[in-house]
Amino acid sequence: MRSLDNPLFMTRRRWIADQVINNRAVLTGSHAGHLTRVLRAHVGQEFDVVADGVLRRGRIVDLQEDRVEFALGDEISAANLPSFTIVLSIFKFDRMEWAIEKCTELGVSRIIPMIAQRTESHLASAAVKRMERWKRIGYQAAEQSRRISSPEIGAPLKVKDVVARQATLRILLDETESAVTLKSVLQSYPAGEEIMLAFGPEGGWTKGELGLFHEAGWIAASLGSTILRAETAAIAATAIVMSEIVEA
């Protein structure tokens, strides 16, 4: 049984502060409750704390059921994530939440939910009400994976609005594409470029949507000959992009 008093275990815990006041960082509500009730933290214990986007050493100086206050110490070096946006055509919420969680762990910086022509109407209409839950999932996954920030998760957009968004490298994942793979596209561009990756809904893109993306200069690419479920495609493609960035 590992103890929180073991320094090797403590270094694996990281918290993103809800409030930062001078050299104090605070966790509140259920965020603090997990630390107090589940992890049974105590005053004087040290953790890594992200305060206004900066990773610092934090020592607990005040502990309440729904509020934990840290005194902030030295800054700790942390890896910067690349500018990498994924566009997810809205699909069944339980599976979409899985994709959001895992893509956050892998390192995406921004997630844009999109209403495609084949997005089920009841999912499209309910998506706005899911925004806070999606953001919370991203926040928790960011802490678990030791990121210094959670991904930006924007309000649902229509296809025409996504098509017009700008990035250095814009890739459309298209199961009908047979000649160009995602990996080959990534290898032809220099490292450090801003990347945007768009995933279609269950049932795929319509011909009209494909035409809009192609006319706007998006590059169509494939993940291979097999047909993947939406969440599998998002996770697999994200892993490929991060792998290519690291290798570069």
3-state secondary structure of 95: helix
> Is the pLDDT at 1 greater than 70, yes or no?
no
The stretch 4-15 carries a mean pLDDT of 52
> Is the pLDDT at 72 greater than 70, yes or no?
yes
* pLDDT on residue 12: 54
- Residue 127's identity, in one-letter code, is A
* pLDDT on residue 246: 62
Structure tokens at 86: 């994924």
Chain centre to alpha carbon of residue 61: 31
The stretch 69-98 carries a mean pLDDT of 89
What confidence category does residue 34 fall into, taking pLDDT thresholds of 50, 70 and 90?
confident
% residues pLDDT > 70 (the chain): 94
- Residue 234's identity, in one-letter code, is A
Most confidently modeled of 71-85, 116-130, 166-180, 188-202? 116-130
Task: Tell me the average pLDDT of the chain.
Answer: 87
3-state secondary structure of 19: strand
What are the residue ranges of helices labelled H in the chain? 7-10, 29-33, 93-106, 121-126, 131-144, 159-163, 182-187, 207-215, 230-247
| Residues 6+ away with beta carbon under 8 Å from 200 | 89, 116, 118, 173, 174, 175, 209, 230
The 3-state secondary structure of 173-228 reads ECCCCCCCEHHHHHHCCCCCCCEEEEECCCCCCCHHHHHHHHHCCCEEEECCCCCC
Q: Express each pLDDT in 207-230 by its tens digit.
A: 999 999 999 999 999 998 888 899
Chain centre to alpha carbon of residue 63: 30
Domains and CATH numbers, the chain: 7-75 (2.40.240.20), 84-247 (3.40.1280.10)
The stretch 121-136 carries a mean pLDDT of 94
Residue 89 contacts residue 55 (beta carbons within 8 Å): no
Token pair 């055509």 is at which residue? 89
Give the pairing of strands 46-51 and 54-64: antiparallel
How far is residue 25's CA from residue 126's CA, in Å, rounded to a whole number? 35
Question: Lowest-pLDDT range, 20-24, 84-88, 126-130, 145-149?
Answer: 145-149
What confidence category does residue 6 fall into, taking pLDDT thresholds of 50, 70 and 90?
very low
Question: Lowest-pLDDT range, 29-43, 88-102, 112-126, 200-214?
Answer: 29-43
Question: Lowest-pLDDT range, 31-35, 85-89, 114-118?
Answer: 31-35
